[in-house]
Structure formats: structure tokens, C-alpha cells
Structure 1
Amino acid sequence: MSLTLPLDLEALHHDVTGWFAAEGRDLPWRRPECSPWGVMVSEFMLQQTPVVRVLPVWEQWMERWPEPAALASEPSGEAVRAWGRLGYPRRALRLAEAARRITEEHGGRVPSTYADLLALPGVGSYTAAAISCFAFGIPETVVDTNIRRVHARLVGGRALPEPSYTAAEARLAAELMPSAGHDGAELGCAWNAAVMELGALVCTARSPRCGECPVAGACAWVAAGRPEPHYTPKGQAWAGTDRQLRGAMMAVLRASDAPVEAALLVEVASVDPVPAHVGAQSDPATEAEAALRRLRALPAADAQRRRCLQGLISDGLASETSHGVTLPH
């Protein structure tokens, strides 16, 4: 994929960033007063998780751990507990590890360069570029799913980007970035944020609102009559999967401030009442006990449950001692 349309890049940048200035959401990690750490936390949380779910958790997180050193001083299990139901809780472990590395190696300050960011636990190429751009104003080329979709439609004339990120998409993203100049850095960062927002709010995967798009007149997909996708996207199964079962087990451990017997997590036939200490921090009938009952109600055999519990332990998301299973120490 390359720039084959007679796109006026200067007009394109002007129209999209102008739309973003007027229509972009007021998110706390976008505000000037947000620290680089706040931006970094948001980027970890927003991986595969929508903004509406991230917002309350991010706010609670930043109130409790306003800087990396604050998180680094606590056990990893507290990060996993505070992660709540954002999903993919290994992100919480990696963020805690990154906080410790920042504290030990960078004087407690989030590094600004792409290379230093990429060296941190849990930071891949996208996250490194996004933090460098949105926290420090360095115009790295940022490409997420929303940006890929906008590029595919606007330039490629296709309903969806390729199933996996390609070298051609990377070249296109680089070509579409504003060129260096006296305001190139600021414009480049604004462009990244604006295209991402356009994909999230207007150029959506299932119900694009082309009538609200500031560049619909230049869009190759619209010009082609909005053809159907050239492949059928595969959705992720949830019911009955290990992911569902692991998530239910993590919910029990997050709600419990004392070790939980492994048998309660893996034996479907167990009908013993939930021990009172499982929910000692709150009403056991409303939190820990309810989480345990939801886990037991899932249609999964003991073998799958044991496999999932061992997987959580192997991944460092849970710890098992002679007293039972807890969040990691």
C-alpha cells in the first residue's frame, strides 16, 4: 500500500487535526497537566480495552500511585488487585515491573526516548512510540488498530486493514506523517492523536459515520462505494475458554485478603460454604463469595480448572503456599 491518490497532505492534516481540536474527547491523560507516568499508565490500560472501562480505573490508580516510585514500593499483587476487571492482568504485572525499573534506573522519571521506553517491561513498539509522542511531544509514528483502519479506508480504499500489521502499512503511516518543520513535532503528535480519535469515534469498524468525517471527500473507500471487507474478521471466543475461567479465578483472588484454598477454585463438586475470611475486607456475601459462586457456576471440568490455576501461578499472577492461593507478593 502506498500513496497512489492525489492527496493534499497539508489539507488532510489541517482538516483532521482541526476536527480533533473541536470534537476530540476530554480525556485526563490528554490534558497538559498529565504527567508522563499518567500517559504511560493510560497506554498500558488502553491496550485491548475501551476508554469507558479504563477511565475509572486510571483515576483510582493515579490517585493511589501518582508516580512510578509509589507503585514500585508495593507488592505486585496490589497492582493486579487494582487492575480490577480491565482484562489481561499480566499488563498490571508488567506495569509494576516497569515502575520498579524506572525507579531504579531512571531516577523515578519515565524516560522520553523510544529506545529507553522499549527496554522497559511490557513496552512494545506501539507503546514506546505512543508514550514518546503523547507524553513528550516527540513525533514518533504511532499506529494502532483505529489508525490502521482509517489509513486502509482513506488511502487503500478497503473496509479494513490487513489481519496483521504489514510493512506496507508501516510505510504508509510514515508517509502520512507531517514533515519536519518549525511546528512539525507538535503537528505530528496532534496528527497521531487525531487519526486515532477519528477511528475510535467516526471511522469505526462496524458502523462508520462517513457523514461526520472531515475527510470523507478524499476517502478512497467512500469513492469506491464503501465495498465490503476483503476478508471476514474472526471474533474472539469467550464463553467456556481458559480466558473466562482464569478471569473468574482472578476475581476471587482480588476480592480476598487471605489465602483461598486451591480446592475451592478447582473442584466443581465442592459445595462447602465459602470461608468467612475469603471476604474479610467486605461483606463476603456480596464480593468474594459472589465471585466464588460465579466461578463454580462456569461449565468447566476440574481438569480445565486445574490447568487454568497452574497457568495463573506460572504466569506470576497468583502464588500458592501451604496456606492457599493469593495474589502475588
Structure 2
Amino acid sequence: MPHPDLEKIHHDVTAWYAANARELPWRGAAADPWAVMVSEFMLQQTPVVRVRPVWEAWMERWPTPAALAAEPVAEAVRAWGRLGYPRRALRLHAAAVVITDVHGGKVPGTEAELLALPGVGTYTAAAIACFAFKVPTVVVDTNIRRVHARLIRGRALPEQNQNAAELALAARLLPAAGEGDNAGTALANDWNIAVMELGALVCTARSPRCEDCPVVNQCAWIAAGRPEPHYKPKGQPWHGTDRQLRGAMMAVLRHSAAPVPRGDLLGAPDLAVAAGEPRIAVSARQGDAAHEAWVTLHALDAPAEQSERVLASLLADGLAQHSPDGISLPH
């Protein structure tokens, strides 16, 4: 492994961030720990451009954990909208309940306490501790791993799955933060967010803008001649998958004020009728969003076996519930 000038790298990357960082509401001085926590849940596997409007609406409606905890969990799932991976909404609601009941309505500030919350894993705990409470801890997401892989290891991409060696490298690269050393602590925190931003804006996975990189002259990948990845990344399929069908079913449930008959959701032709009128016609009277959701679901024309499997998975995950009246979001 090369021996980079870490002091210069720390300076160059954090200086670049100070001049080029995006102005995001959860980074502002007014953003409290709850605002940061909501952003971290939403940003998991979801780009900023999709998260921002949902985050803003969420924070306006639920500015505190107690405000969210007081609402039925169905409202959290409904407000999650089309961000994807809606189990995050269930877990965020559950975390809000614990914060309200156990922590007096305040997001806890240590990684250990954060890890005890529903839906909070190692990365999320570290990110909240670092960005909300200025704890100088190691934060490692996909963007950070990619920058480290190129800058230090000379590889085009990080490993397919995060491993101990990558975590050890991230710990070694973190600027030292001595006890009572406010400047060192601030640099450690600035480093985490700066590397993350560099990976999001410049050192991207497919088309890195190396000419705009503040450490291009110190990059091991550039020095090695930009070698190809040591594996071929596999994109996630979408069309025809269970994930696509899950999203379509969830959209119908989010826009339905009343439970949906099971047969309607499964697309059974002989059951897709309400009071003698096709469900599509009923949804058209309920508004554009509801109608679009029904049209999208039935346009998939999913096999019966797949529809049954997907509905069963939604019920098992707690994203839907069954009652004598039909299927609905969880209460």
C-alpha cells in the first residue's frame, strides 16, 4: 500500500468541500439531530434529488420524534411515498416511538444508544453521531468506500461487500481527534462528510470527473493508469421483478382510503369489480394518484403466483395487513 501524505489529503479534500458542498437542509445550522436522523434513513440507497422533497414534507409534518410517534404507522408508510424500500418508514416510526418513550423525545447522542434503536445499523449510528453530535467516529458508506479504493488502494471500485479491511483503512485515514482538541474533532467530522460528498459529485462510480478532483495528483488509481474494475458490477433488474410489483401494490394501498379487496389487489378479473363498477372506474373518481396506481398495477399483468407471493411478503414485512374488509396499510 502506498504511503500518502495524509495531512495534505485531509486539507485538500476538506477545503474542496468548503467551496463545493451542496446546500442541503439537513446539513444546515438549524438542522437538529432528528432532522439528520430522518435524512439518514431516507438516503439509504436513495439519491438526494428524490429524498429532498419527501424530507421537507416529512419534517414540516413531523418536526420531532414525538410528533411522528403519535401518528399511526400507516401515515408514515403513506408519507414515504415512492422513495422505495418502505420498511425504512416502519423502522423510522418504531425508532420515533422508542425515542419518545425511552429518551424523552430526544435523539440519543452515542453510537451505542443509537444502535439500540429500531432500524439503526452500524453506518446509520455512526453517521448520526458524527453529523448530528460531532462525534469523531468512522463513517463508511458506498461513496466513501469508492474514494478510499481509488485514492489509496488504486482500485476502480471498492469490494462488492464491505469488509474489515475497508473499515480498518477508513479508521486509519480518519484525522486524529485528541481529547479536548476541538480543531482535531472538527477536522475528523469535516473529513467524513467531505469524502462522502467527493464520492457523490466527483469520484462517481461510472463517470468520475477526475479533472475536478482536489487530490487527483495523489490518487493511486490515476497513478496506476486507471485500471478497470476487478469485477463487473451487476445492476439490479426492475421490470417484471417482485420489487416492481411490491412497489405497485404499495402505491395502491397508500392511495386507498379504505381496505382493498384481496382479489382486486391480485388482479383477479372476476373480483376486480366494486358495486358493479370496475375498480379502475372507481379509482378515477378518487383522484389522479389513486387512478394512476391502479392502472400501473394492472398494467403489469403479473402471474397469479407472483402476485400471491408479493402480497404475502408485504403482509410478512408488516407493510400491509389483512382484515375481513380487505388489505390495508398497517394501523
Q: 1:274·1:289 contact (CA, 8 Å) conserved in 2? A: no
Q: Distance in 2 between matches of 1:292 and 1:194?
A: 43
Gaps of 5+ in 2: none
Q: Distance in 1 between matches of 2:287 and 2:76?
A: 24
The equivalent of 2:324 in structure 1 is: 322
The equivalent of 1:79 in structure 2 is: 76
The equivalent of 1:104 in structure 2 is: 101
Q: CA deviation at 1:275?
A: 7.2
- TM-score, with length taken from structure 1: 0.96
Deviations 1:159-195 (A, max 9, x none): 0001011111111000000012321211111100000
Distance 1:214 1:307, change over 3 A: same
Q: CA deviation at 1:243?
A: 0.8
The equivalent of 2:251 in structure 1 is: 251
Q: CA deviation at 1:284?
A: 2.3
Deviations 1:6-35 (A, max 9, x none): 311111111000000000100000011101
The equivalent of 1:40 in structure 2 is: 37
Aligned AA for 2:32?
Answer: S
SS in structure 1 of the partner of residue 2 of structure 2: coil
Runs of 4+ in 1 over 4 A off after TM superposition: 275-279
Q: 2:261·2:327 contact (CA, 8 Å) conserved in 1? A: yes
Q: CA deviation at 1:285?
A: 5.0
Q: CA deviation at 1:244?
A: 0.6
The equivalent of 2:291 in structure 1 is: 289
Q: Distance in 2 between matches of 1:152 and 1:311?
A: 37
1:133 is aligned, of 130, 135, 144, to: 130
SS in structure 2 of the partner of residue 325 of structure 1: strand
The equivalent of 1:238 in structure 2 is: 238
Deviations 1:284-312 (A, max 9, x none): 25121221121011141111111111111
* Fraction of identical pairs, as percent: 65
Aligned AA for 2:252?
Answer: V
Q: 1:210·1:216 contact (CA, 8 Å) conserved in 2? A: yes
2:279 is aligned, of 274, 281, 287, to: 274
Map 1:1-329 onto structure 2 (within 5 A): 4-181=1-178, 182=181, 183-270=183-270, 272=273, 273-274=278-279, 283-329=285-331
Aligned AA for 1:187?
Answer: L
SS in structure 2 of the partner of residue 320 of structure 1: strand
Q: Distance in 2 between matches of 1:146 and 1:222?
A: 18
SS in structure 2 of the partner of residue 287 of structure 1: helix
- Cα RMSD between the aligned structures? 1.3
**Paired residue total:** 323
SS in structure 1 of the partner of residue 279 of structure 2: coil
SS in structure 2 of the partner of residue 56 of structure 1: helix
